[in-house]
């Protein structure tokens, strides 16, 4: 018996030694091939900052090694009260930090308002933090945004920075908002508290919630309480203040939950709740509630009966993937992690991840990076980007674009370059999705802040090929290898398009006649589509909306040859959309001198690519977990066992592959739709932005961070000082009469007869006589423009018959406007007046006092 035991132990020892030898040889082989040692991705080491509050700490801030564009720091607001103090909580980890330096800015980072140092830091062993109190000397104006840079020294050579937007929130009831949101959140894990939360919900009758991934204030109480799922909190909720003013607050609560989905298999979820609330002395109002719940990938989750790989509760839009080798290999990115599945070897590799195994670690509480898969080949090699804030590894604390290559044969990552940038992830994300491409000559192309960059990774050079672009200026093929750029950012005036093959660098130029205009439509496969219109038919409304009836569609190949043409007598293409391999066209024809829609459609179809060998996403319903997402494979692939897990390594190199991307500073003025603390989209005309913000229940800000519109405002308001109506002789003088009244309320005395309304545009005249920057709101609804009255600004509007009036007060049922032709202050039914303005074209102008 003892002899048998000795033999077994000897065999086990030999097995261990062979395994160790294999690892040593494996690492040696990689190191020999690359000339560099192989390591794991270094864990996060930098400190983290939070803001202290009597109810809950909030606004976790990551440590940056470099500068960030302060004007783009939008995702959270740090609140200062009457005392002008902030409690700073520093999770210093192993660093002996003895002081925190600060700089307060208003707008210009070159002209700080205030600088100082918090020298007295106190250890708090219970929370494992060091705390300090920052007291501002500057009086912060309510309603104005400020920016705060905090800095700590880690050692003799390293200083890191924390960035946040600051606002005077005295009297804004922050503690009450915190208390309500945390109470609502904690109730979710106690079924006996369902009725308490249900009182604030507005479930839609007759609708069954099938997904727990996204629930909201209109979902059923059962869905808001996670249905029949048994969930546990892995981390305490962490609060971000997204918006705060004297009317409402928006808070985001983030936490990690777990749920046992089968015997011994636990899935973890990132859960993000957004609360939009209004506080009154009588009660708290929950204006909106949104919650997303997205699973971390767990290799143990498979559906053997269907040969599916499971992603769990997940939003399909958050999953990026490419398949290769006839579906035998799959690369996918989900929850900020990159994975590689190899069916033939029955293993899955965690290629890249910032999240540590301890998901409750506060350093995992940052959603400031993205992963973009650029290419994936049949050998399983992946070319990809990690962009935004880098929280681990040699670039910890840096912000920019890390270009990476994963080698499947060695299960090892290699950094090709790091492109540092001052543009934060929230502003970078849309641009990277628009264009990011690395060609076979090691030249990388991307768009950032309106600049098209060409970066040569071999000689570390960066050239801006085009600056001042807007989103609509550039169109890219599906694989991003071909782009088309309109020469004029004003689409109604564009006469030339450049098509660039980013692989070869070859350029084709398409132009039109002097009396024509052209615009990009998109790509079918790698063929470029553009449309041609007669200049006389192209128009730009005062609202900024462009009418572009195309008389012809041209499809061009990569060499600039026309492969297809669509044109018919008296048939115009008014709108287009591309879905897969089909171009859909909405048609119109000329009648009474104008091109009008006929409601007809036509299509151009390309041969669809063979998808039988590909991988797709499918959704499957489970009674406990609701809709869950899976990868579906070709019929000849049978997934019956969970894959083995492999953790990829990274090549450690002493070579510095970094460069800093330049910025032209020629960004076009844009309007950003901002909802729940996140930038959703950008527009070049304000009315479109306002309409999008109204739909998303968000706000509009400009490039200078000025708030131009908010979705929540007072239920009633009146513009002070507009008691007297200036009377004029007729409709032709109505604009002058309105401008005279606007001048008076802004401290000027100007008679209507002295105003020449033909000397300039309405916008220019309004700016002149208000002394403010005029805002073109044509196309917005009356309900939307009432926001400006709530801010004390009158609304100049065109009423029936082309007459101008001034809208100056409202409540829930009535509207008051001043009519300079009748000389009367008129009060009318809100719905009827709204309809009258709609019939008149919804022509509105206003301004915001600075």
Tokens read off for 423: 């543009």
Q: Which is nearest to 9 in space by CA: 22, 23, 17, 19?
A: 17
Query: Three-state SS string across 160-225, please?
Result: EEEEEEEEECCCCCHHHHHHHHHHHHHHCCCHHHHHHHHCCCCCCCCCCCCCCCEEECCCCHHHHC
Between CA 614 and CA 122 the distance in angstroms is: 58
Average pLDDT estimate for 752-779: 93
Comparing 17-21, 549-553, 791-795, which segment has the lowest mean pLDDT? 17-21
DSSP state of 185: H
Q: Please give the average per-residue pLDDT across 281-305, as a whole number.
A: 95
Alpha-carbon span 557 to 669, nearest angstrom = 34
Are the C-beta atoms of 596 and 588 separated by less than 8 Å? Answer: yes
Percent of the chain predicted with pLDDT > 90: 73
Tally Cβ neighbours within 10 Å of residue 810. Answer: 24
CA–CA dist 234, 244 (Å, integer): 28
With bands split at pLDDT 50, 70 and 90, how would you rate the model's confidence at 18? Answer: very low
Whether the pLDDT of residue 79 is over 60: the answer is: yes
Confidence band for 72, pLDDT divided at 50, 70 and 90: confident
User: Quick one: average pLDDT of 442-466?
Assistant: 94
How many H-runs (helices) and E-runs (strands) does the chain carry? 10, 60
pLDDT, position 762:
92
> What is the distance between the alpha carbons of residues 745 and 763, in angstroms, rounded to a whole number?
18
d(CA 239, CA 58): 5
Six-digit token pair at 249?
């607050």
Report percent pLDDT > 70 for the chain.
Answer: 94
**Alpha-carbon Rg of the chain, whole angstroms?**
30
More confident residue, 122 or 1: 122
Cα of first residue to Cα of last residue in the chain, in angstroms, is: 91
Distance CA(499)–CA(501), nearest Å, equals 7
User: What residues contact residue 314 under an 8 Å CB cut-off, 6+ apart?
Assistant: 213, 294, 295, 334, 628, 629
The DSSP secondary-structure symbol of 537 reads: G
DSSP state of 481: S
Give yes or no for a contact between 757 and 765, defined as CB atoms under 8 angstroms apart: yes
Q: Which residue has the tokens 């700590």?
A: 152
Beta bridge partners of 578: 583
Sign of the dihedral defined by the CA atoms of residues 792, 787, 679, 59, in that order? positive
User: Token digits for 796?
Assistant: 């100049």
Contact 317, 237 (CB under 8 A): no
Q: State how far the Cα of 486 lies from the Cα of 497, in Å rounded to an integer.
A: 5
Flag whether pLDDT at 5 surpasses 50.
no
At residue 206, the pLDDT reads 83
Q: What is the dihedral of CA 102, 106, 108, 112, to 10 degrees?
A: -40
Rounded to 10 degrees, what is the CA torsion of 601, 605, 611, 616? -30
Q: Which of 22-31, 36-45, 755-764 shows the highest mean pLDDT?
A: 755-764
pLDDT digits (tens, 9 = 90+) for 233-269: 999 999 999 999 888 999 999 999 999 998 889 999 9
Sequence length of the chain is 850
Q: At 363, is the secondary structure helix, strand, or coil?
A: helix
Helix (H, G, I), strand (E, B) or coil at 397: coil
Angstrom distance (rounded) from CA 70 to CA 107: 8
Cα-Cα-Cα-Cα dihedral sign, residues 300, 301, 302, 303: positive
């Amino acid at each position: 018996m003892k002899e048998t035991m000795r033999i077994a132990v000897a065999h086990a020892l030999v097995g261990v030694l062979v395994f160790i030898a294999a690892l040593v040889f494996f690492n040696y082989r990689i190191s020999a091939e690359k000339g560099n040692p192989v390591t794991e991705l270094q864990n996060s080491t930098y400190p983290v900052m939070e803001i202290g509050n009597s109810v809950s700490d909030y606004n976790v801030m990551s440590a940056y090694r470099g500068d960030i564009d302060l004007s783009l720091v939008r995702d959270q607001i740090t609140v200062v009260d009457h005392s002008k103090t902030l409690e700073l909580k520093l999770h210093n980890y192993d660093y002996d930090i003895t002081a925190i330096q600060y700089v307060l800015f208003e707008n210009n980072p070159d002209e700080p308002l205030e600088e100082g140092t918090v020298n007295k830091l106190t250890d708090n062993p219970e929370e494992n933090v060091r705390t300090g109190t920052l007291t501002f000397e500057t009086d912060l104006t309510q309603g104005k945004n400020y920016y705060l840079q905090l800095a700590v020294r880690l050692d003799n050579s390293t200083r890191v920075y924390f960035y946040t937007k600051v606002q005077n929130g005295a009297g804004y009831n922050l503690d009450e908002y915190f208390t309500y949101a945390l109470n609502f959140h904690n109730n979710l894990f106690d079924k006996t508290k369902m009725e308490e939360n249900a009182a604030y919900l507005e479930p839609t009758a007759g609708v069954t919630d099938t997904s727990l991934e996204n629930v909201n204030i209109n979902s059923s109480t059962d869905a808001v309480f996670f249905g029949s799922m048994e969930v546990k909190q892995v981390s305490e909720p962490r609060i971000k203040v997204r918006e705060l003013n004297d009317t409402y607050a928006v808070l985001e609560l983030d936490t990690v939950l777990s749920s046992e989905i089968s015997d011994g298999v636990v899935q973890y979820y990132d859960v993000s709740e957004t609360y939009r609330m209004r506080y009154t002395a009588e009660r708290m109002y929950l204006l909106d509630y949104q919650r997303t719940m997205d699973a971390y990938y767990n290799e143990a989750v498979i559906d053997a009966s269907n040969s599916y790989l499971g992603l769990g509760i997940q939003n399909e839009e958050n999953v990026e993937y490419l398949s290769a080798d006839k579906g035998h290999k799959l690369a996918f990115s989900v929850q900020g992690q990159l994975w590689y599945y190899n069916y033939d070897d029955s293993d899955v590799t965690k290629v890249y991840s910032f999240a540590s195994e301890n998901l409750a670690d506060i350093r995992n509480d940052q959603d400031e990076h993205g992963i973009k898969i650029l290419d994936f080949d049949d050998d399983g090699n992946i070319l990809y980007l990690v962009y935004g804030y880098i929280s681990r590894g040699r670039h910890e604390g840096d912000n920019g674009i890390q270009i990476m290559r994963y080698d499947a044969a060695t299960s090892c990552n290699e950094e090709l370059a790091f492109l540092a940038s001052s543009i934060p992830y929230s502003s970078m994300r849309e641009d990277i999705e628009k264009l990011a491409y690395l060609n076979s000559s090691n030249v990388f192309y991307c768009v950032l802040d309106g600049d098209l960059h060409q970066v040569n990774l071999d000689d570390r050079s960066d050239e801006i090929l085009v600056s001042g672009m807007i989103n609509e200026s550039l169109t890219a093929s599906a694989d991003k290898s071909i782009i088309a750029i309109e020469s004029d950012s004003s689409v109604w005036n564009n006469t030339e398009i450049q098509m660039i093959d980013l692989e070869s660098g070859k350029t084709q130029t398409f132009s039109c006649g002097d009396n024509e205009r052209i615009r990009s439509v998109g790509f079918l496969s790698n063929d470029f589509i553009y449309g041609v219109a007669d200049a006389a038919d192209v128009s730009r409304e005062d609202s900024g909306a462009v009418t572009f009836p195309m008389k012809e569609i041209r499809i061009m190949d990569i060499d600039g040859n026309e492969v297809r043409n669509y044109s018919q007598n008296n048939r115009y293409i008014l709108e287009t959309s591309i879905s897969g391999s089909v171009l859909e066209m909405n048609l119109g024809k000329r009648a009474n001198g104008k091109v009008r829609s006929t409601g007809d459609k036509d299509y151009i179809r390309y041969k669809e690519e063979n998808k039988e060998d590909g991988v797709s996403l499918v959704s499957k319903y489970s009674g406990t977990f609701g809709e869950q997402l899976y990868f579906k494979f070709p019929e000849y692939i049978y997934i019956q066992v969970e894959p083995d897990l492999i953790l990829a390594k990274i090549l450690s190199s002493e070579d510095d592959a970094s460069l800093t991307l330049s910025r032209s500073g020629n960004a076009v003025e844009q309007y950003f739709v901002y909802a729940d603390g996140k930038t959703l989209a950008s527009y070049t005309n304000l009315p479109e932005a306002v309409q999008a913000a109204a739909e998303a229940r968000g706000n509009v800000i400009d490039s200078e961070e000025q708030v131009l519109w908010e979705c929540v405002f007072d239920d009633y308001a009146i513009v002070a000082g507009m008691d007297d109506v200036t009377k004029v002789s007729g409709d032709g003088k109505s604009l002058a009469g309105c401008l005279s009244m606007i001048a008076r309320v802004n401290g000027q005395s100007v008679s209507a007869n002295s105003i020449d309304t033909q000397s300039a545009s309405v916008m220019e005249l309004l700016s002149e006589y208000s002394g403010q920057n005029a805002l073109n709101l044509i196309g917005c609804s009356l309900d939307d423009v009432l926001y400006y009255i709530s801010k004390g600004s009158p609304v100049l509007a065109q009423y029936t018959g082309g007459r101008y009036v001034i809208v100056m007060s409202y409540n829930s049922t009535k509207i008051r406007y001043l009519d300079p032709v009748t000389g009367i202050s008129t009060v009318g039914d809100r719905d009827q007046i709204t309809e009258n303005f709609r019939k008149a074209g919804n022509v509105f102008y206003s301004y915001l006092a600075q």
